[in-house]
């Protein structure tokens, strides 16, 4: 079935092959003894090929209470249990799942279907098709981009991979949407890539020391040279990943000379005076001062 608005889709993703925007919306139906239809799936530029393990919600026939099952719904497995409300027993399962195409999936305006040709003849091109075409052109020209020619295996990247946005990140990110590599997602947005503003993510990274391209992992060192592509924190805060070691802490950090981070036996460490205000010991001290004065 055709989606009236792609923004109403439950899930959207960019195709790694053609960079087209795939959109899917799920419309569940009531499954009972008289029908075997589980749901409808509205697709844009894609088709459903299989049903993965899912979590279903059932309604009790006795008390109409909704029950969410912890067991995953898969083929050849019986899901059983007790109703949370009336404690009646229930059980259901399937031997096979069949996918039926009720109507052709929407290929978007300007696609290969008849509707797309009619829309194109009327002058109403789909913006997503225009973006996909631009991304295909960018991937084709990616190797000739001046920035991409700076990546040479065995040689460091400019500024070891850092940029004005990520000054302590020594790697570049390879974005599958346009096929180009950038020091950070902000640089990707500034490159005017049409998919950057739509939430495109990097799938690979390039070491800033040896320019080795590898799968993306935020905290892993380089597979080839072992270079740590993320600087260790030398400040107390450092965006939440800083250090608490006074020896490694930067001398420009005021916390290095504060008593709060030093050892327990430090003379500069602050101590709590709560014991002098509350508790049995503080009460006895106040009674003593009331009877004999503070000087005794």
Same domain, 43 and 74: no
Query: CA–CA separation, 283 vs 273, rounded Å?
Result: 14
Same domain, 80 and 176: no
CA distances 200 to 136, 174, 197, 236, Å, are: 15, 11, 7, 32
Same domain, 135 and 239: yes
Give pLDDT, residue 108: 55
Number of domains in the chain: 3
Residues 148-164 have pLDDT tens digits of 888 888 899 999 888 98
Residues 227-285 have pLDDT tens digits of 888 766 566 655 455 666 777 777 777 777 765 444 444 555 566 778 778 888 888 88
Phi, psi dihedrals of residue 204, rounded to the nearest 5°? -140, 160
Supply the DSSP string of 167-218, one letter for each residue.
TTB-EEEEETTTS-EESSHHHHHHTT-TTGGGT--EEEEEETTT--EEE--T
CA distances 228 to 221, 231, 262, Å, are: 5, 7, 29
Is 162 among the domain residues? yes
Contact 110, 127 (CB under 8 A): no
Is 222 among the domain residues? yes
- Find all residues with CB under 8 Å of 215, minimum gap 6, and list them: 203, 204, 205
Helix (H, G, I), strand (E, B) or coil at 230: strand
- Residues facing residue 82 across a β-bridge: 89
Question: Which residue, among 169, 178, 240, has the nearest Cα to 205 in the 3D structure?
Answer: 169
Give pLDDT, residue 206: 92
Contact 163, 183 (CB under 8 A): yes
Same domain, 205 and 163: yes
Residue-number span of the structural domain to which 67 is assigned: 57-96
Give pLDDT, residue 4: 45
Domain boundary among 209, 235, 250: 250
CA 104 to chain centre: 32
Residues 180-191 have pLDDT tens digits of 899 988 888 888
Query: CA–CA separation, 218 vs 185, rounded Å?
Result: 13
Phi, psi dihedrals of residue 231, rounded to the nearest 5°? -65, 140
- How buried is residue 161: exposed, middle or buried, by Cβ count under 10 Å (0-12/13-18/19+)? buried
- Find all residues with CB under 8 Å of 289, minimum gap 6, and list them: none
Segments of the chain scoring below 70 in pLDDT:
1-8, 16-19, 104-129, 231-244, 258-271, 296
Give pLDDT, residue 19: 63
CA dihedral 33, 34, 38, 42 (to 10 degrees): -170
Same domain, 167 and 85: no
Domain boundary among 250, 272, 290: 250
Same domain, 88 and 175: no
Is 25 among the domain residues? yes
Domain boundary among 214, 232, 250: 250
State the CB neighbour count (10 A cutoff) for residue 69.
16
Contacts of residues 221-224 at CB distance under 8 Å and 24 or more positions apart, as own/partner, are none
Same domain, 80 and 38: no
Is 245 among the domain residues? yes
């Amino acid at each position: 079935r055709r989606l009236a608005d792609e923004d109403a889709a439950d899930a959207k993703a960019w195709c790694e092959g053609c960079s087209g925007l795939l959109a899917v919306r799920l419309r569940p139906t009531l499954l009972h003894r008289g029908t075997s239809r589980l749901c409808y799936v509205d697709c844009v530029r894609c088709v459903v090929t299989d049903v993965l393990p899912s979590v279903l919600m059932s309604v009790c026939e006795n008390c109409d209470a909704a029950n969410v099952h912890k067991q995953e719904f898969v083929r050849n497995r019986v899901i059983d249990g007790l109703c949370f409300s009336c404690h009646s027993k229930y059980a259901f399962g399937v031997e096979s799942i069949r996918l039926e195409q009720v109507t052709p999936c929407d290929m978007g305006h300007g696609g290969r279907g008849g509707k797309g040709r009619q829309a194109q003849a009327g002058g109403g091109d789909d913006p997503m098709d225009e973006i996909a075409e631009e991304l295909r052109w960018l991937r084709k020209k990616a190797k000739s981009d001046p920035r991409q020619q700076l990546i040479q295996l065995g040689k460091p990247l400019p500024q070891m991979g850092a940029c004005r946005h990520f000054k302590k990140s020594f790697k570049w990110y390879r974005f599958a949407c346009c096929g180009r590599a950038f020091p950070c997602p902000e640089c990707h947005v500034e490159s005017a890539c049409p998919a950057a503003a739509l939430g495109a993510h990097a799938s690979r990274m390039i070491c800033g020391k040896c320019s080795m391209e590898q799968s993306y992992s935020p905290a892993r060192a380089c597979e080839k040279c072992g270079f740590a592509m993320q600087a260790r924190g030398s400040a107390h805060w450092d965006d939440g990943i800083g250090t608490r070691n006074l020896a490694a802490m930067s001398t420009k950090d005021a916390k290095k000379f504060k008593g709060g981070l030093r050892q327990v036996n430090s003379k500069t460490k602050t101590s709590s005076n709560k014991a002098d205000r509350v508790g049995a010991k503080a009460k006895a001290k106040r009674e003593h001062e009331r009877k004999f004065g503070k000087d005794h």
